[in-house]
């Protein structure tokens, strides 16, 4: 009688541990699978052509917050809200919330983990 109760107890604990392990593995797989495409594009040589909508301009920090950042290619999905450090040649007062801009980005500065990038060129989109 004691053997069957212990077997049932150990079997139940084993199934619970297995369920927790499988859930953890699945959660980690989901988190990294979406970011791989961004990291692959960011590691490409040359420059990245992107477009975004200005959300706000922080002149004291010298950065532009953009929404709907996406690669210039057709059918690209939005990468969300990013902080952009513009080149010194850009006049921050010419950028305003709601403006659509095109960005040329050095892939080495495209940091998906912190959602920051440094643009080598920013132009108002037509």
**Residue bearing the bigger pLDDT, 106 or 46:** 106
pLDDT in tens, 11-28: 899 999 999 998 888 887
Residues 6+ apart with CB under 8 A from 17: none
Tokens of 119: 């643009």
Instruction: In whole angstroms, give the CA distance from residue 126 to residue 118.
Output: 22
Residue corresponding to tokens 């109760």: 5
Q: What is the mean pLDDT of residues 77-104?
A: 93
Q: Which CATH superfamily groups domain 48-124?
A: Nucleic acid-binding proteins (2.40.50.140)
Give the domain ranges of the chain.
1-43, 48-124
Q: What is the mean pLDDT of residues 29-52?
A: 66
Instruction: In whole angstroms, give the CA distance from residue 68 to residue 34.
Output: 16
């Amino acid at each position: 009688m004691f053997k069957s109760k212990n077997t049932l107890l150990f079997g139940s604990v084993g199934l619970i541990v297995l369920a927790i392990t499988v859930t953890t593995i699945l959660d980690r797989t989901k988190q990294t699978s979406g970011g791989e495409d961004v990291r692959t594009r960011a590691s490409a040589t040359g420059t990245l052509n992107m477009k975004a909508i200005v959300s706000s301009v922080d002149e004291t920090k010298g950065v532009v917050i953009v929404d709907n950042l996406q690669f210039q290619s057709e059918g690209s999905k939005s990468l969300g809200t990013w902080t952009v450090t513009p080149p010194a040649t850009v006049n921050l007062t010419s950028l305003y919330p709601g403006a659509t801009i095109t960005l040329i980005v050095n892939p080495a500065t495209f940091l998906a983990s912190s959602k920051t990038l440094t643009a080598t060129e920013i132009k108002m989109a037509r």
